[in-house]
Amino acid sequence: MPEKNIFKKIIDKEIPADILYEDEQCLAFRDVAPQAPIHVLVIPKKEIASMDAIDHEDAELMAHLWLVIRDLARQLELDQGYRVVVNCGEQGGQTVDHLHFHLLGGRMLDWPPG
């Protein structure tokens, strides 16, 4: 059995996280190495390795994740704007093999990002 990645350990409550939102489908928590004043990670509880691993059957879950992100942005008062980032694969900057969305805000975000 492969070793659990850090996000699975957070889902399973094996390691602590500053959780802002949780339901039966997903979890949102503050990033431990924030890149902006507000930096929240939103992850599905279903183990999906990356954007490339999303199946058609995951459509409702993906819609739910986007609505959670929108609601978190409102809750965190990011009314001046925010950015949502999804890294996919090594060259895309993905470091954990579990689909995750970065919600960033609270300052002016430069473009291009990287």
In this predicted structure, what is the pLDDT of residue 113? 77
- The parent domain of residue 54 ranges over 6-105
Q: What is the CATH number of the domain that holds 90?
A: 3.30.428.10
How many whole angstroms from its chain centre is CA 43? Answer: 5
Counted domains in the chain? 1
Q: Residues 16-28: pLDDT tens digits? A: 999 999 999 999 9
pLDDT band at residue 1 using 50, 70 and 90 as cut-offs: low
Residues 6+ apart with CB under 8 A from 67: none
Q: Look at residue 113 and tell me if it is in a domain.
A: no
| CB neighbourhood size of 73 (10 A) | 20
Q: Look at residue 112 and tell me if it is in a domain.
A: no
Q: Residues 58-76: pLDDT tens digits? A: 999 999 999 999 999 999 9
**Catalytic sites, residue numbers:** 100
Q: Distance (Å, rounded) from C-alpha 9 to C-alpha 3?
A: 10
Q: Look at residue 72 and tell me if it is in a domain.
A: yes
In this predicted structure, what is the pLDDT of residue 114? 64
Q: Residues 73-110: pLDDT tens digits? A: 999 999 999 999 999 999 999 999 999 999 999 999 99
